[in-house]
Structure 1
């Protein structure tokens, strides 16, 4: 069961990473907090491209580095925690993206983040 969950997570991460680079690039920009672009020398598109690359690498690593899966699971869980402020910023600033066009939808999405963290940790444990 954990193997199936891990492979599904890996596929979802690669898919999400590709979507950052191609068809949903604009949508993901709604999740980049202003603080990031105000503080760092990078624009929203750069953040989206970089995070997409990280997602693809983490997804691939879940499959091709089986001896490191526990470590990758922790890194992936930390990544999900790190992107949470972007999701929160989207909700607070009422930015539409990914059909999250209501307060209810944006806040409901935040509840899914702990599920992703738990999925990453659980599926990579022996």
Structure 2
């Protein structure tokens, strides 16, 4: 399989994942996502989850549907989102909040290492 096809598949998979996660923010996983919102965020936890879900749906759709000339910028924005929400993962770990099966300190700690993978994935799958 050509690298071009692998990148396209990776981009579509990431976009689909963002759309699914965003829908989860608004529906079936709204409560678990609240466990990741740091206490210092100045919005209600539910509002933060809803707004971030809308952003994820929009970014996911853009990754899947936007013309090729915009993909690099969209990838950088997606990487920025993954960086921006990382404090939520840290908060979930430091406050020992269980959600999404992350019910031990070790599971929550290992989860922290997945965020850089998402940043890399967003950048690599959309690079020109």
What range is the shorter-chain TM-score in? over 0.9
The residue aligned with 2:25 is 20
Residue deviations 1:11-43 (CA, integer Å, cap 9, x gap): 00000000000000000000000010xxx2x20
- How much is the aligned-residue C-alpha RMSD, in angstroms? 0.6
Counterpart CA distance in 2 for 1:83 and 1:125 is 22
Q: In the TM superposition, what is the alpha-carbon distance from 1:44 to its structure 2 partner?
A: 0.3
Q: Of 83, 89, 111, which aligns to 2:85?
A: 83
TM-score by length of 2: 0.94
Structure 1 stretches of at least 4 aligned residues deviating more than 2 Å after TM superposition: none
Residues of 2 paired with 1:29 and 1:9: CA distance?
A: 22
Q: Name the TM-score, length of structure 1 as normaliser.
A: 0.95
SS at match of 1:101: coil
1-structure distance, mates of 2:87, 2:113: 13
How many residues get paired?
A: 122
Q: Show CA shifts across 1:93-123 (max 9, x none).
A: 0001111000000000000000000000000
Is it true that 1:10 corresponds to 2:10 in the alignment?
A: no
Name the residue aligned to 1:113.
115
CA contact (8 A) 2:62 2:74 kept: yes
Residue 63 of structure 1 corresponds to which residue in structure 2?
A: 64
CA drift of 1:54 comes to 0.2
2: CA distance, partners of 1:92 / 1:63: 34
